[in-house]
Each structure stands twice: as C-alpha cells, then as structure tokens.
Amino acid sequence: MPDDPARDPLTGARILLGVTGSVAAYKTPDLVRRLRGAGAEVRVVLSRGGCEFVTPLALQSVSGEPVRTELLDPTEESAMDHIALARWADRLLVAPASADSLARLSQGRADDLLGAVYLATDAPVSVAPGMNHRMWAHPATRRNADQLADDGVDRIGPAAGDQACGEEGEGRMAEPEVIVEHLRRHLAPKPLAGRRVLVTAGPTREPVDPVRFLSNRSTGKMGYAVAAAAAELGGEVTLVTGPTHLRDPEEITVVPVETAEAMAATVRDRLSEADLFAAVAAVSDHRPEERLASKRKGKEAFELALTPTPDILAEAAGRNDRPLILGFAAETESALASGRDKRRAKGGDYLAVNDISRPDAGFGTETNRLTLIGPEGEQALPFGSKREVARALLKRLATELAGRA
C-alpha cells in the first residue's frame, strides 16, 4: 500500500508507558488518550508509588489493555512479563519519572517491573521527569539525569511553573500534548533535515487608537500546524506569528509580532537564511492612515482613511535571494480561479488555496481542504486535520527542495 503522506508518525507505534510515584501521574490517562488518538498502541506499567496517584483501572480503561504492576506475576505466561513487554515495545516512555525512578534507572536496579523492563528492552527510552523543583535541582537528581542521558535516554522536560505543592519552579512534568509532540518528532521521517523553514501565521492587528484595531478572523491554527509539521519532518523552524491564543510549539523559534509592517520587517530580515518560506498568515490588507493618540469616544459617525500594508508574499517573491516560496489563499468564492489569479499576480512557486466558506475548512476549524497550485499543475491534498494537511503539503515541498539541491 502506498505511503499516506498525511499519516501520523505515531500510527501503529507500540508505546510502553511507565508511570511512577509523582503527583503528575494524574495526567497519565490524558496522555494515554492522546497517544491512542494519534494511532499508537499503549500498554502501561504502573509502579507501587504510581498506584497512590492513579488507579490501574483508570489506565486500563483508557489504554484498553491490562495494566501491569508486579515484577513476578504468576498469572502471566512463564511469570516473565518483563521480557514480553520489553520485546513488545517500540519505545519505553517513563512519564512521570519521579526522582526515585531516575535514581533506580540510572543505577540499573531491577527489583521492580519497570526497572527490569528498562534493562531488558532494546527499544529507545524517553523519560519525562516530574517532581518538586528543589528535588529536580538537587545535585544527586541531576547526576542521575545526566547518567541516563549518557546512557542514551531521551529526556522530555521538565517544565517550569506552578507545582502541586504550592511552590513554583522547574520540575513539572511536560504537558501530555508536549510529550506526544516530542515522540511524534522522534518517530517521523526527516525529509527537511538540514533545511531552514520560515513560517508566518495568525492575523495581524492594525491599531486605530490605543484600544481599537483592524484585524480578521484568523486563529493561526493552519500556520502553527505548518510550523509544527515542518519541525516534525526535521526542519529548523522560525515561526513569525501575529496575536493568537495558541501554545507556542516546542523546539521552534517563535517571533511574536502585531502589525503587518512588523511581520514584513521580520520576514525581510530572515528570508535570505531560509530554504523554504511558507506565508500562511492572514495579513491585514490595510491599516489606518493615522493612528489616533487617544481613544476615540462617542457614537457619532466618522471616517477612517486606510492605506495599504506591505504585501509580504509579493515582496518575498520578487527578491533575487528568495528561497522556495509557498503562499496561502483563503478564498470565499471561485476559490481555485481566485487562487490562480493570486499566484500570477504575486509570484512565488506554490500557492495553497482553501475555500473558507466551507464549514470544514474556514477560520477556526480543526480540519482543512487545500489545493496546491504549482509549476506542474494543481493537486488536491487529502482532507484531514490541519496538521495532517500540513504534513502532506510539506512532504510534497520537501521533494521539490531535494530536486533543487
């Protein structure tokens, strides 16, 4: 069967999740749900400490598999369940990894099921530490974490922020969506390895006065999906984003801007360093000719003179040092015809067109439908989530980049 370019790298992956005695264990049912939602198979090893924070029944309910808790279990075949689990796993993920579990793993102790599986598996291992910030900062814990890194164990986090104990600092387990994204990047093919990708996303805001602004309904979801997919496929990604309510993607350089002029200036500065420029942002076409110094009051009618903002896509396409350029066109009628006109008018290499009047492809939706217009013609990409569509789109452009190289 031909490869599906939109396929999630986690599809079919067998993830063995070790849950240890950290309060962050309460997040693991959500983590399992997200992994399964991405297409992974999940089995769980729950330590005795972990049982104090989350029950085997809860994890069995979301994983659809029996939860293992004991090293020597006569109910399992040959009472050698640690060997069977170690051979089954494509990846061992310990999340949360408590300070005690880091110590045990770094010392190679095999007096519980998780430790025995760790020693018996040939699969890659990831740990997501979760503990009090002072425990994480302690020299003993850092030595154990460094030893695991030297042994080839991949680490996810920890993050900084408020902790269950009421204190604040670095030591929080990475959020489940961050862990899933991390694993996705590790498992994905890397056709964009060594490539620098510049992406714009979101709306821009053009101030009328200190309170009001002109903008549009873009949420930034498609641009963020393109940036995340580019990083997943191995690219070194810079995301220039207007105001959104989205979480900054991990391991991506994020440059926040507000106005079209600020976005244009950032693109001008960084374009020559990029191998691929994806102009996904919904940039305001006009801005007020003059910004009012104070808030305009009253209900009476007034005129607002507008002037054009920089055309970021056309400006980039006209440069001699430009990279491969992908533009986006969000259209409300005659989408393909309008997209063809836009590509001819603005230049660039490819243009992705979507009809935002459709209920499954407009601003704020979780899904999208794109038609890619390029030198070789037009190609309708498979319908799917914005991340799936972005993945298929970037794999197509990675092939073009490889051909140019």
Question: In the predicted model, is pLDDT for residue 259 greater than 50?
Answer: yes
The neighbouring-strand residues paired with 379 are: 372
- Distance from C-alpha of 278 to C-alpha of 312, rounded to nearest angstrom: 11
Which two tokens mark 53?
């924070």
Q: How would you classify the pairing of strands 41-46 and 67-68? A: parallel
Of 1-10, 106-115, 292-301, which has the strongest mean pLDDT? 106-115
Q: Is the pTM of this model over 0.75?
A: yes
Q: Are 277 and 314 in contact (CB under 8 A)?
A: no
Q: Do domains 14-186 and 190-292+302-404 have the same CATH topology?
A: yes
Q: Encode pLDDT of 14-50 as tens digits.
A: 999 999 999 999 999 999 999 999 999 999 999 999 9
The amino acid sitting at 193 is A
Q: Residue 289: CB partners within 8 Å, gap ≥ 6?
A: 305, 306, 307
- CATH number for the segment(s) 190-292+302-404: 3.40.50.10300
Q: What are the counts of helices (DSSP H) followed by strands (DSSP E) for the chain?
A: 14, 22
Q: Encode pLDDT of 336-351 as tens digits.
A: 888 888 888 888 899 9
Q: How would you classify the pairing of strands 159-162 and 168-172? A: antiparallel
Average pLDDT, integer, range 259-285: 96
Q: Give the C-alpha distances (Å, rounded to integers) separating 151 from 15, 118, 196.
A: 20, 12, 30
Which two tokens mark 330?
């969000």
DSSP string for 163-184? -TTS-EEEEEPPPHHHHHHHHH
Give the homologous superfamily in CATH for domain 14-186.
Answer: Flavin prenyltransferase-like (3.40.50.1950)
Q: Give the C-alpha distances (Å, rounded to integers) separating 280 from 11, 143, 163, 283, 359.
A: 27, 44, 36, 9, 19
Residue 51 annotated to the active site: no
Q: What are the sequence ranges of the domains in the chain?
A: 14-186, 190-292+302-404
DSSP string for 273-309? G-SEEEE--B--SEEESS--SS---SSS-----EEEP
Which two tokens mark 99?
């300070």
Minimal CA–CA distance to 351: which of 310, 393, 386, 318?
A: 393
SS3 34: helix
DSSP string for 316-347? HHT-TT--EEEEEEEESSSHHHHHHHHHHHH-
Which two tokens mark 174?
């990475």
Buried/exposed 79-97: b ≥16 CB within 10 Å, e otherwise: eebbeebbeebbbbbbbbb
Which two tokens mark 264?
């244009």
The amino acid sitting at 30 is D
Q: Encode pLDDT of 378-390 as tens digits.
A: 899 989 999 999 9
**How many Cβ atoms sit within 10 Å of the Cβ of residue 296?**
13
pLDDT band at 75 (very low <50, low <70, confident <90, very high): low
Buried/exposed 316-344: b ≥16 CB within 10 Å, e otherwise: bbeeeebbbbbbbbbbeeebeebbbebbe
- Which residue among 165, 193, 211, 337 is the active-site one? 165
- Distance from C-alpha of 220 to C-alpha of 47, rounded to nearest angstrom: 41
H or E stretch at 230: helix 221-232
Q: Encode pLDDT of 101-141 as tens digits.
A: 999 999 999 999 999 999 999 999 999 999 999 999 999 99
